Amino acid sequence: MKDMTIKNVNALYHGFVDIRIRDGLIDEIGQSLSDVTGDTEVIDGSGRLLFPGFVDAHAHMDKSLLGLGWNRNEVGPSLQEKIDNERRMRVERNIDFHQQTTRVAERYINYGTTHIRSFVDIDTDIGLSAFEGLAKTREDLRDDVMIQIVAFPQSGMLARPGTVELMESALQNGADLVGGLDPSTIDRDPAAHLNEIFRMAEKYDVDVDIHLHEPGELGAFSVELIAERTRALGWQGRVTISHAFCLGGIDEAHLQRLIDLLLENDIAIMSHGPSGTGTIPPVERLYKAGVRMCTGNDGIRDAWGPLNMPDMLLRAFILAYRNNFRRDDQIEMVLDIVTNASARMMKVDAYGLEVGKSADLVLIDGETHVEAVIERPPRWMVIKGGKIVVDNR
């Protein structure tokens, strides 16, 4: 891997600068850096926009049907119908999880994504096959994209005996986090579900990421139960609640109490600007209160629906659109969420446009970073750890 100097880029939060990369790390950021002799590649950025690598903090790479022909979707409206439909389809179509996760990872890389947190379904029908497929993809592509894996009981955990044992096996074999799911409506025993999730978190010393679709007061009750367990275990800063639709469906006084709970326990919230007319977390209010916010694309072209794409600039657009953001400072907030904020939530210490951090960079044509959220031009170049992984020069 050659060292390189990228001249004349409009870097997020830095303005027009040159960037020097040495041994895969950002070595220098400054105006008119002098040329160095030796085996250094010089790239003329021609004033292009430069972002740190995009971060998807909530993906389901194992679910994707990309490359398998168009899937005519006729799934029913309820959550349970979607879960059952997917489990049935996987068996019928004999999904190759290594192939599918590779396909979706390659699309992610082309859109400038350098870090992904992906859930992986674990159930008593497919066992660990989705986990094993994604773990192999993670290893194959480790120089091109960083993937965190969450062991996730999509079909229920206590309701399907044998699932906990499979999740523990995944955690023993390289899963990075333990995931939970709607403790009241799926397992129908919220305390027992969460006790089991936090037991595994402690046993394997892993962070927690819980899908919470439960609405209104029911979801708010689950948030309180999660916060209690976070505090009891001393897991502050190690828990994320994904979706948290309930935060948009409770009265003001209750919302403020939950925000205080999230802050006290340093619990992060993932919101992806979901389709539909249901309630969503108030992203700007939470962000400005200091709650750690992150986002992701959820499933890409899967049995749940075809609308998502593995492009974090599109996700930024959707998050802005769903929250009625119009001002530049609001869209800049969303850009922070698809980059630095999501990376912090994932604890990627080497991330960021700073000297000494990993050279994970995306170059795009355009006038301003905010405009790129609307125009979403093709990625001109993507660099991961100092290696050019997409080159459209």
Using the minimum distance from each CB to Zn ion, give the nearer residue, 168 or 298. 298
Q: Which residues contact 80 (CB under 8 A, 6 or more apart)?
A: none
Give how many residues touch Zn ion by CB under 5 A: 1
Residues 294-323 contacting Zn ion, CB under 5 A: 298
Using the minimum distance from each CB to Zn ion, give the nearer residue, 298 or 302. 298
What is the C-alpha separation between 377 and 28, in angstroms, rounded?
A: 27
Q: How far is the CB of 192 from Zn ion (least distance, A)?
A: 22
Residues 86-115 contacting Zn ion, CB under 5 A: none
Concatenated DSSP letters for 105-159? HHHHHHTTEEEEEEEEE-BTTTBTHHHHHHHHHHHHTTTT-EEEEEEE-TT-STT
Q: Which residue has the CB atom at the shortest distance from Zn ion?
A: 298
Q: Fill in the per-residue mask, 172 to 211: x = in contact with Zn ion (CB under 5 A), - = not in contact.
A: ----------------------------------------
The residue with tokens 């953001």 is 325
Residue 201 three-state SS: helix
Q: How far is the CB of 212 from Zn ion (least distance, A)?
A: 10
Q: How far is the CB of 302 from Zn ion (least distance, A)?
A: 10
Q: How far is the CB of 56 from Zn ion (least distance, A)?
A: 11
Q: Which ranges of the chain does DSSP label H, i.e. alpha helix?
A: 79-93, 97-110, 129-140, 163-172, 190-204, 216-233, 252-264, 283-289, 312-322, 328-336, 342-345, 369-375
Using the minimum distance from each CB to Zn ion, give the nearer residue, 144 or 298. 298
Using the minimum distance from each CB to Zn ion, give the nearer residue, 270 or 331. 270
Q: How far is the CB of 163 from Zn ion (least distance, A)?
A: 17
Q: Fill in the per-residue mask, 280 to 299: x = in contact with Zn ion (CB under 5 A), - = not in contact.
A: ------------------x-
Share in percent of the chain as helix, strand, coil (round to 5): 35, 25, 35
Residues binding Zn ion (CB under 5 A): 298
